[in-house]
Amino acid sequence: CYLGSFLLVQVFSMANGDPLVSALCIFGDSVVDSGNNNRLNTVIKANFPPYGRDFVTHRPTGRFSNGKLATDFTAEFLGFTSYPPAYLSQEARGKNLLTGANFASAASGYYDRTAQL
């Protein structure tokens, strides 16, 4: 019975054009970084070709991919009409933050004390 209600909510939500969840917040490293490193003082960047050549804009965005990230596909699956903006980008302002943001940063896992553990 509960599963049936859940499926009904999904179908109803998608039929109205609303995402299945209200916001999508992403944390991680280069696997899901959508451009935060573009605005950080680091040599770890992906804002130059060939990155982005297969993305919607066909230009580098800071994603460490030539196309969409797994989180971009997740946002589409959940019913969002856009991808969560990189938190440090100009798009992550005002009402755009109400549907979430991407806080991921490439090389964020590199911390000497972690390796020592």
Q: What digits encode the pLDDT tens for the residues 14-53? A: 556 788 999 999 999 999 999 999 998 888 899 999 999 9
Q: Report how many domains make up the chain.
A: 1
Residue 94 lies in a domain: yes
Residue 14 lies in a domain: no
Show the domain range for 92. 41-116
Residue 5 lies in a domain: no
Residue 90 lies in a domain: yes
Residue 18 lies in a domain: no
Q: What share of the chain is helix, strand, coil (3-state, %, to 5)?
A: 30, 10, 60
Q: What digits encode the pLDDT tens for the residues 57-92? A: 999 999 999 999 999 999 999 999 999 999 999 999
Residue 19 lies in a domain: no
Residue 46 lies in a domain: yes
Residue 71 lies in a domain: yes
Residue 33: which of 114, 110, 102 has the closest Cα?
102
